[in-house]
Amino acid sequence: MDWGMRNRLAQIIKPNGRCMFMPIDHGYFLGPTNNLERPGETIKPIIEYSDALFVTRGVLRSAINPDNSKPIILRVSGGTSVVGGDLANEGITTSIKEALRLNVAAVGLSVFIGSDYERQTLLSLGKLVDECEEYGIPVMAVTAVGKELEKRDARYLALCCRIAAELGARVVKTYWCEEFEKVTNGCPVPVVIAGGPKFDTELPVFEFVYDGMQKGAIGVNLGRNIWQHPYPVAMAKALHAIIHKDATPKEANEIFNETKRQ
Ligand code: 5RP
């Protein structure tokens, strides 16, 4: 692996092989979603717990301080909205030149396997990988399921992750599911766990992240369950402990409760 690629990957994946990515890219199809109306304010108290931010160029330029930033994973796919025809109909929105100008550590793009736009989004992934490899930029593939969350089983997610890796993604982001080891075992590149819509309570979040880590994930890319929570700092600190300090769900819950009281 060339120096630039290694250096960029080392920026987002820490020496212990783990990572906690903080996604604040949701506005690219959801608009000003709850608690992300002003992304710069949302991340201020929790940024210290993240290893990288997943963000679009618009929010990056308008809300993130370039003098003191975490490594950036730039969202480069989009073109659809939650009120449009089909969330899966994405294309590439941002050039490699722009990614280089913004000095990003990686780029991220969604693929919608099993949708009408499977071929289009997978060919976009291949094209993006071709261009990014030329400049040593890692591509994170996001195995998106659109509105069809029921697709989240091990067979489907293992298929998605493997295909994304085969097409050259350096990191794959996917949802947690039962038998998560089937997803990680079949994927030759690191897998990070996405969060999905906010849970009503904390413990199930700690449990699925812990389970995913035990079964081979290297970390998370988890947003709403942190920054839509009434105690985002407590959530971020507890999840950070699971990812970087091998805390159990019970220990994470204690950290959550202690931090919440402060
Ligand atoms: C949106 C994304 C998000 O980065 C991803 O869904 C993770 O965020 P959350 O934990 O809120 O689901 O890719 O398309």
Q: What is the pLDDT of residues 109-140, one digit of tens each?
A: 999 999 999 999 999 999 999 999 999 999 99
Catalytic residue among 151, 173, 182, 237: 173
User: Could you give the angle at the alpha carbon of 58 between the alpha carbons of 104 and 196, nearest 5°?
Assistant: 80
Using an 8 Å Cβ cutoff, are 236 and 259 in contact? no
Is 173 a known active-site residue? yes
Does residue 253 lie within any of the structural domains? no
Question: Is 259 within the bounds of a domain?
Answer: no
Domain membership of residue 12 as a residue range: 3-224
261 part of a folded domain: no
Q: What is the DSSP letter of 198?
A: P
Indicate whether 170 belongs to any domain. Answer: yes
pLDDT in tens, 143-157: 998 666 667 899 999
What is the rounded CA–CA span in Å between residue 114 and residue 118? 6
67 found inside a domain: yes
Locate the ligand 1 atom nearest the alpha carbon of residue 197 and give its number. Answer: 12
Query: Where residue 120 sits, what CATH number does that domain have?
Result: 3.20.20.70
For 61-105, strand residue ranges (E) read 72-75, 77-78, 91-92
- Beta carbons within 10 angstroms of residue 89's beta carbon: 16
For ligand 1, atom 4, which residue shows the shortest CA distance? 23
- Is 198 among the domain residues? yes
Q: Rounded to the nearest whole angstrom, what is the distance from the C-alpha of residue 241 to the centroid of ligand 1?
A: 20
Q: Are 208 and 214 in contact (CB under 8 A)?
A: no
Q: Tell me if 238 sits within 8 A of 253, measured CB to CB.
A: yes
Which of 50, 74, 172, 221 best tests ligand 1's pocket when mutated (most atoms within 8 Å of CB)?
221
For residue 26, tell me if it sits in a domain.
yes
| Span 4-14, pLDDT tens digits | 999 999 999 99
Please provide the average confidence, as pLDDT, over all residues in the chain.
96
Number of domain units in the chain: 1
Report the separation in Å between the CA atom of 173 and the middle of ligand 1, taken as the mean of its atom positions: 9
Determine the distance separating the centroid of ligand 1 and the alpha carbon of 61, expressed in angstroms.
20
Domain assignment present for residue 248? The answer is no
- Exposed, middle or buried by CB within 10 Å (0-12, 13-18, 19+), for 37? exposed
Query: pLDDT at position 197, please?
Result: 77
Taking the centre of ligand 1 as the mean of its atom positions, its distance from the CA of residue 224, in whole angstroms, is 7
